[in-house]
Amino acid sequence: MAEHAALLWVDNSNVTRCRVMPMTRFAQSRGVHLTNAVQSMPSMYDAALDSPAGDIVMGPDNLTSPLTYDISAWLPGAVACFGDMKKHGKVWDSCSRSFLRRQELHLRTQFHMRATVGFELEFQLLKSENSANVPVDQTLYCEVKALQGGVSWRVLQEIVACLQKDLGINVLQYHPESASGQFEISIGHEPLDAKSKDLSLVDAVDQLVLARQTVRGIAAKHGLHATFVPKLREMEAGSGAHIHLGLRDIQDECKNAFQTRPEDARAFVAGVLEELPGMMLLLAPSINSYERLRPSCWAGAYACYGFENREAAIRLIGGVGDDGECEFARADHFEIKATDATANPYVAVGALLAAGMRGMKDKCKLPEPIAQDPATLPEADRPALLPQSLSETINAFQMRAPGFWEHVLSESYCSLLHRLRAAENEHYGAMTREEMVQALVNRY
């Protein structure tokens, strides 16, 4: 029986924070009071960019029967709970969870679609050696050796057991990745219990947040440090946080909208593609993100899409027939490759929905798909690169904010996100690379 309840929230720098209370108090509580400042803190210190004056309340979604998650595997005796933030009894603009909830509702009511989302967790396991954090191995992609004779396999087993048995998260697969000490765990959009209702996007992102904390918590139990930092070593692969997004047609038994409404699905993807440059502030918001986002590194550095093309920012999954021909209406879903774990996932998924809905509203048209590494194309035929630095991304977001993002997020929320990223860019930009990476490893 749990004795403690941890109320979790994710701030606008993707730092997961919590308030803990005894279960006896939690059963009677309507939530916790927090200062406005909790959502305006950058990733490097607790110095809010907004006024400390003012109060918000964060409480469980269902006060009479709140949904809790068993996190005793890494926080003994505790359960976790999520909630939205409210100010004066109303949804607060700076609550990222509420933002995603609004976008999900808008997709359903205005476009008669439902979205599904799955995630890839890429991370590196580090051990302490001579007062430094170093990867636990030097193995290759999917190399069996990474799972043999060391602590990594025990850690992965315990993580997956906790995700599935304690948290009910649908783990699809897990394996060693390309960088030293790097692993990937993929979680699906369907609930582990086949009899349960499909997860809402908010529930799915809640589970992602818990999955990341589980990776960190279980690794720590074994004396390791798990980091999701986008680019640990310059000459090795980085760690992404790929988002897999599907569309379902509510008007046709929730069948795949790529097949029942291909023109709308094309317009959705086109909207995402058009908004990607500015949206990178919401998908890859750290200075380190752009060390990962390089051409020919499987990170999706070019603003293009392609069928099963891992160099495209948008990868259509499925759609390739037995004859090798590509057809959009055959696709199952699409993957966003450029995002990483420094991004608030509620904002990231909500932003993708907003961009896709703008595409459907404006009937945006997709260009031709790219069927090879864009870097190998003649310069005249090559699609544009996504922003290659946080400074470029900040500028791209500012240019698009008045026409789109201020309408989607609110003017005050856009201003806050811009100021947070600018402050982080200045702070980390003044460091050496070693100092910057170590600071981000400590945080992410």
Backbone angles phi, psi at 177, to 5 degrees: -110, -170
Residue 261's CATH number? 3.30.590.10
Same domain membership, residue 165 and residue 44: no
* DSSP string over 3-48: -EEEEEEE-TTS-EEEEEEEHHHHTT---EEEEGGGGS--SS-S--
Q: What is the pLDDT of residue 253?
A: 80
Residue 56's CATH number? 3.10.20.70
Q: What is the pLDDT of residue 391?
A: 96
Under a CB-based contact definition with an 8 Å cutoff, are residues 333 and 247 in contact? yes
Secondary structure E strands in 168-311: 171-176, 182-187, 225-227, 243-249, 255-256, 302-307
Angle at 419 between CA 413 and CA 421, to 5 degrees: 105
pLDDT beneath 70: ranges in the chain:
63-64, 194-196, 324
Q: What is the pLDDT of residue 38?
A: 84
Instruction: Give the total number of structural domains in the chain.
Output: 2
Same domain membership, residue 404 and residue 384: yes
Same domain membership, residue 83 and residue 129: no
- Radius of gyration of the chain from Cα atoms? 21
DSSP 354: H
Q: What is the pLDDT of residue 78?
A: 95
Same domain membership, residue 10 and residue 79: yes
Same domain membership, residue 298 and residue 206: yes
Report the 10 Å Cβ neighbour count for 408.
21
* Domain housing 280: 101-443
Same domain membership, residue 390 and residue 286: yes
Q: Which residue, of 92, 119, 144, is where some domain finishes?
A: 92
Q: What is the pLDDT of residue 1?
A: 79
Q: Kind of pairing, strands 32-35 and 55-60?
A: antiparallel
Q: What is the pLDDT of residue 265?
A: 95
Give the whole-angstrom CA distance, residue 253 versus residue 386: 37
Give the whole-angstrom CA distance, residue 393 versus residue 118: 25
Under a CB-based contact definition with an 8 Å cutoff, are residues 437 and 133 in contact? no
Q: What is the pLDDT of residue 195?
A: 62
Same domain membership, residue 410 and residue 263: yes
Under a CB-based contact definition with an 8 Å cutoff, are residues 181 and 169 in contact? no
Q: Kind of pairing, strands 4-10 and 78-87?
A: parallel
Q: What is the pLDDT of residue 284?
A: 96
Same domain membership, residue 56 and residue 155: no
Q: What is the pLDDT of residue 179?
A: 93
Q: What is the pLDDT of residue 156?
A: 95
Q: Which residue, of 92, 114, 142, is where some domain finishes?
A: 92
What burial class does residue 105 get, using C-beta atoms within 10 Å of its C-beta: 0-12 exposed, 13-18 middle, 19+ buried?
exposed
Same domain membership, residue 186 and residue 44: no
Q: Which residue, of 42, 69, 92, is where some domain finishes?
A: 92
Under a CB-based contact definition with an 8 Å cutoff, are residues 183 and 126 in contact? no
Same domain membership, residue 122 and residue 16: no
Same domain membership, residue 249 and residue 214: yes
Under a CB-based contact definition with an 8 Å cutoff, are residues 84 and 394 in contact? no
Q: What is the pLDDT of residue 406?
A: 93
Same domain membership, residue 55 and residue 154: no
Q: What is the pLDDT of residue 222?
A: 95
